[in-house]
Structure 1
Amino acid sequence: MLDDYVRRHDGVVTLSQAQQCGLSRFAVNRRVRSGHWRQCARGVFFVDDRPFTDAARIRAAVWSNGDRAAATGLAAAWWLGLTRFAPDLVEVTVPRVSNHIRRPGIRLRRRDLAPADVIERNGLRVTTLPLTVVEAAARRGGGPKLVDQALQRHTDLSALWAAHLRNKGRHGSPAARRLLQAADVGARSEAERLMIRLLRAGKITGWKVNQRVVGYEVDVLFRDAKVAIEIDGFAFHSGADDFQHDRIKQNAIALAGYQVLRFTWLDLVEYPDRVLKEVERAICAR
């Protein structure tokens, strides 16, 4: 029973869990003294016959802070499969009134999480996907890319806003609000403004905004160079009808002799230098 439990929980076990499996405190201490178990924190152990993985590290960090602790931020994002790499610093949220001490490798956040914002995944308490997205996106290493991916594959904007509003005042809340506002109905307009600022900062001239070509309005047009730029907001805004219309429009403009470049809000925020180089290459080639 204990072996199966340890296997399913990345080699991590607490004292109370070991006792539920029939081990006494003396038996646990004997395993620690013999080197078979490693003590990660008070009452939390790692069965040292396997690699100490990222999953074990995060599980031990959360369990070392009590039954009401939960993985949050980028740690929760990795646990839920939203990010590829686990963070070096494990963010753990504990109740506002608690006496847990800070430990190396763990960043403690103290606040009371609503039951609606916590789930159990693989035996570990973590924030729900919507709250995880809005919190992790505001952390260094998260950003708009995380929001974009979540909106495309996992959740919708209303759920993100609901989680954000239930948790106002938390660390990173203003940054999360700005990301959600950019992803809201004005995402495309905000992306257009970002493109204009980028062109001006790069001292690229010869363009006009909202110009018509063969009956269609183009976001940014280099008429002399015959280059049309289309700006998309977050990918989730494109439904099937919008997708079909955009392709018909793009083909018509291309058949009129224009090169069409498409950039997303994410391109402009995360890869501005690459966007400028592509624009410069296109207008210089004409």
Structure 2
Amino acid sequence: MDEAELGRALVAGGGVLRRQELAEHRAALDWQLRSGRLVPLLPGTYALAEQAGEPAVRLRAVCVTHPDAVLVGGAAARLGFWPTAPLPVVEAALPVGLRPQPGYRWQRRRIPPELVVERGGLRWTDPALTAVELATEACAEAVDLALRTRSATLAGMHEALRLTRHRAGNAERARVLLDSRDEPWSEAERRAHRLLRAAGVTGWRSNLPVVVSGRTYYLDIAFRGARLAVEIDGRLHEDDDSLFESDRWRQNALVRAGWRVLRFTWAMLRDHPEEFVQEVRAALVLQTQWRTGRL
């Protein structure tokens, strides 16, 4: 197997080689392994040394080595709706138990077929199940991101939880879904929803679509009757200049359309929760008085 043949085989295999499929080249494979040009990822599955750490190659190695495997956790999130999901190890579910491998973690379980996505030789849990299974308190952002990108619905997540109802940890996942009942699109929005619910503030809706001058804006928290918008600037706003600028254009358009807009940062919600609720309540009173002509 010369360099050209090796390159073609790697391209055909999506960056990985299976020893059993190249029986006539075993001597050449062994030489490539001894020279360090190829490295093993899983038993009988190899990749170029310089590509072995790439997530796409590692995911491909699982599905090539174990065709009945279903990628779960961060691996499934990367394929489904979260390209930068944390991936300390590649996790996969299989119907049989396997010995641990460095960089890989195996779960002995069967995924309901209706919750499996199969594309391009890869198999992974669909976004609803993936988000639910990542939905611990430490990773609730998976639910927020799946909702924000419309990769999954809250109803779909509840159905995924029902179809996997015997999974350990489901009680915690159910609590996160309950906490997500108003469909937050970020951790900061989730905190704002909690504060409003705890204070008994009602009459609001999250991510309300509003059309202004032919453009649709989604209001983080909206009191439609009072025409009060509560915009939550999450952590992304602190570092993204373009997002900062676009939010100002958006706010100007909403004000022209008769909306009063309040803005709160993650730090304000975290450090001054009572003041947040007080500001919202005070603005509701002012808006109601203004709209009824009593101000």
Aligned residue pairs: how many? Answer: 238
Following superposition, the deviation at residue 192 of structure 1 comes to: 7.8
Give the structure 2 partner of residue 13 of structure 1.
17
Q: Aligned AA for 1:149?
A: L
Which structure has more RCO (C-alpha within 8 Å, separation ≥ 6)? 1
Inter-CA distance 62–252: structure 2 relative to 1 (3 Å threshold): closer
Aligned to 1:156, which of 147, 153, 156? 153
Inter-CA distance 161–18: structure 2 relative to 1 (3 Å threshold): farther
Inter-CA distance 271–174: structure 2 relative to 1 (3 Å threshold): farther
Give the match's secondary structure for 1:154. coil
Q: Which runs of 5+ in 1 are unaligned?
A: 200-208, 211-218, 220-229
Q: Hey, what's the Cα distance between the residues in 2 that align with 1:52 and 1:172?
A: 30
Q: Hey, what's the Cα distance between the residues in 1 that align with 2:268 and 2:142?
A: 15
Q: Hey, what's the Cα distance between the residues in 1 that align with 2:76 and 2:106?
A: 13
Give the structure 2 partner of residue 136 of structure 1.
134
Inter-CA distance 128–248: structure 2 relative to 1 (3 Å threshold): same
Q: Hey, what's the Cα distance between the residues in 1 that align with 2:198 and 2:88?
A: 33
Give the match's secondary structure for 1:134. helix
Q: Is the 8 A contact 1:14 1:43 kept in 2?
A: yes
Give the match's secondary structure for 2:152. coil
Give the structure 2 partner of residue 38 of structure 1.
39
Give the structure 2 partner of residue 73 of structure 1.
73
Aligned to 2:227, which of 217, 239, 250? 250
Q: Hey, what's the Cα distance between the residues in 2 that align with 1:9 and 1:110?
A: 26
Q: Aligned AA for 1:110?
A: R
Q: CA RMSD in A?
A: 4.4
Inter-CA distance 251–103: structure 2 relative to 1 (3 Å threshold): closer
Q: Hey, what's the Cα distance between the residues in 1 that align with 2:11 and 2:38?
A: 14
Give the match's secondary structure for 1:107. strand
Q: Hey, what's the Cα distance between the residues in 2 that align with 1:183 and 1:130?
A: 13
Deviation string 1:207-227 (CA, Å, 9 cap, x unpaired) is xx55xxxxxxxx5xxxxxxxx
Q: Aligned AA for 2:10?
A: V
Matches within 5 A, 1:17-166: 17-19=21-23, 23-48=24-49, 50=51, 52-61=53-62, 63-64=64-65, 66-95=66-95, 98-138=96-136, 140=138, 142-143=139-140, 145-152=141-148, 153-166=150-163
**Larger deviation, residues 48-57 vs 160-169:** 48-57
User: What fraction of aligned residue pairs are identical, expressed as a percent?
Assistant: 25
Q: Hey, what's the Cα distance between the residues in 2 that align with 1:149 and 1:99?
A: 32
Q: Hey, what's the Cα distance between the residues in 2 that align with 1:252 and 1:263?
A: 11
Give the match's secondary structure for 1:178. helix
Give the match's secondary structure for 2:82. coil
Q: Hey, what's the Cα distance between the residues in 1 that align with 2:106 and 2:113?
A: 19
1:177 is aligned to 2:157: no
Q: Hey, what's the Cα distance between the residues in 1 that align with 2:68 and 2:273?
A: 48
Q: Hey, what's the Cα distance between the residues in 1 that align with 2:144 and 2:25?
A: 49
Give the match's secondary structure for 1:249. coil
Q: Aligned AA for 2:160?
A: A
Q: Aligned AA for 1:80?
A: G
Q: Hey, what's the Cα distance between the residues in 1 that align with 2:46 and 2:105?
A: 20
